[in-house]
Amino acid sequence: MQKNVTVVLTNGVGTRPISSTLWGYAAQNYRNFEVVVLQENPFTLPDLPLFFSTKALASADLQDYLQSSTTDYVVFADAYAIPRVDFIENHIKNREEGFYLTGSLFYIQQTVWEQLESTAIESGNCFEKPFLEQHGINTGISVFRPLESGSWAGILDQTLPELPFNFCNSSLWKSDFLQLATQGQWDYRFPRDRFYTNLGTLKNKSVKNSTLLMAPENDNKLKISVVVSTYNAEEWLEKVLIGYQYQTYPHFELIIADDGSRPSTKELIDRYAANYPVPVRHLWHEDQGYRRQEILNVAIMEAAYEYIIMTDGDCIPRKDFVEIHANEAERGRFLSGGYCKLPMKTSKHISEQDIINQDCFKVSWLKSIDKLGFSNTLKLGANPLLAKLLDFISPTTPSFNNCNSSGYREDMIAINGYDERMKYGGPDREFGERLENFGVKGKQIRHKAVVLHLDHPRGYKTPESLAANLAIRKEVRDKKIKWTPFGIKK
């Protein structure tokens, strides 16, 4: 029988088992479908007795595959999430011309997930209230996720806010997907966090409560790409690499955006990357003068995760730095952190052990080396409660800065990234001003998220570059410009 639905499994396949997921699809009420598993690394699908066909496919080949397939509808789902028996059936029941459907994931404890047996998945028992409550999983009204489809689920779908298109649980007509893909809306490199807001004339229809996917709770952590810009500063960059090596929040990757550094920078990064607790990537372009904004735009597009922290290769993060950004992240906002600028004597004095044991973030230790200003003393000395109060009453307007700021990748792409005409002196602030014009407002965390800014000369700072940058920023403010034609897309 000709298949009319292609289920596309996304997100990290090849590094985690998906046998449980495939057993879930083997239990589906609706059976006229095929499964395509997206993978970026060599990957062999488990040999299971399944009634449907499965195919491992590189993300870059999905568009061509669908173009030649005989199916007419596409369902995207997380490869590490088990579908309830009516998952595909409810996508089919709710599909409608001119609409795309969006759902989400239902999370259970990792320990419970690991104990799930194929019999419980195939029978659907793992979605039943007795099973979940037996394992301490909340099934009450507070979670707003009915365990069975029906009228109550439909009412919730119609009354609660709609979700954006996502590759964890969404669907659309194949013809709509292919049309959007030809318009550049399909980024095959990172399929999970694309299709942002530009879906043409298609309308959104929520199936969050009608389609249930069960995933382990560790997938519920915000995944972050930390982008560190650098240029020929190995001594400072090494201290920064040590800082990110000991973060309390492990769900991030580290991208070094290198504006044309010498080979010794790559050697340093490679040495650390070989035994680092999180993925490390080095993005480099040829040294043709100050082109920091260009390599940052590359980093935005290469970022694997939905949230990006922008910082510098001369800013050592406190151990809770990434965790603070993760906890404070908010849709419709960008985070504006501060920095503690240190004198050269202190910058040189900080050792690997000082970073590991966090002595270099202690006011008394820093003052024993050299002077420390009042503002820096406040940032470093504030406990979480005081830091929250100081950020609330701070007269400083939150702005996007190159040392300590973050936001959602989709917002950064929506304004076309950094303006590549700009040189040193305000390019990050201009970037933030366009975010504000786009509707993404700043949020102050200058006393919560702490980095130590190491001292260095600024030979690339010229009166001409400052004047040119100020002119661009004035135009952005006066005309409320959101999109720069000198950014990612030209």
Q: Where do the domains of the chain lie?
A: 5-218, 221-479
Alpha helices in 126-233 (DSSP H): 129-134, 151-159, 174-182
Q: Encoding tokens for residue 435?
A: 């975010």
Looking at the DSSP bridge assignments, the partners of residue 408 are 307
Q: Which residues contact 258 (CB under 8 A, 6 or more apart)?
A: 229, 230, 231, 265, 266, 282, 283, 284, 285, 295
The predicted pLDDT at position 103 comes to 87
Residue 38, pLDDT score: 84
Per-residue pLDDT, 339: 93
User: CA angle, corner 230, sides to 224 and 235, nearest 5?
Assistant: 110
Q: What is the pLDDT of residue 341?
A: 94
Tell me, yes or no, if the two domains 5-218 and 221-479 fold the same way.
yes
What are the phi and psi torsion angles at 91 (to 5°)? -65, -40
Domain 5-218 part of CATH 3.40.50: no
Res 318: pLDDT:
97
Token reading at 344: 């050269």
d(CA 56, CA 67): 17
398: left (phi over 0), alpha (psi -120 to 50) or beta: beta
Taking alpha carbons only, the member of 103, 81, 114 closest to residue 10 is 81
Residue 157: which of 139, 169, 175 has the closest Cα?
169
Task: Kindly report, residue by residue over 46-96, the tens digit of the pLDDT.
Answer: 788 888 899 988 888 889 999 999 999 999 998 889 999 999 999 999 999
Which stretches of the chain drop beneath a pLDDT of 50?
13-15, 139-146, 190-196
Q: What pLDDT score does 3 carry?
A: 74
In the chain, the amino acid numbered 450 is V
- The residue with tokens 């390019």 is 427
* Alpha carbon distance 345, 240 (integer Å): 17
Q: Which residues on neighbouring strands pair with residue 441, listed in sequence order?
A: 333
> In this predicted structure, what is the pLDDT of residue 89?
95
Residue with tokens 């952005």: 476
- The b/e string for 94-130 (b: 16+ C-beta within 10 A; e otherwise) is bbeeebbbbbbbbbbeeebbeebeeebbeebebbeee
Q: What is the dihedral of CA 446, 452, 455, 458, to 10 degrees?
A: -50
Candidate CATH numbers 3.50.50.60, 1.10.1740.10, 3.20.20.105, 3.90.550.10; the one for domain 221-479:
3.90.550.10
pLDDT for 467: 86
Q: What is the pTM of this model?
A: 0.64
CA–CA separation, 202 and 99 (whole Å)? 5
Question: Any residues with CB less than 8 A from the CB of 449 and at least 6 apart, and which?
Answer: 318, 320, 321, 324, 325, 328, 335, 337, 338, 404
Q: Which residues make beta-bridge pairs with 284?
A: 258
> How far is the C-alpha of 379 from the C-alpha of 389, rounded, in Å?
12
- Give how far the C-alpha of residue 270 lies from the chain's centroid of Cα atoms, to the nearest Å: 24
**CA 193/CA 182 separation, integer angstroms:** 18
Residue 240 tokens, joined: 């920064």
| Distances from the Cα of 172 to the Cα of 66, 155, 199, 302, 478, angstroms | 13, 21, 11, 26, 40
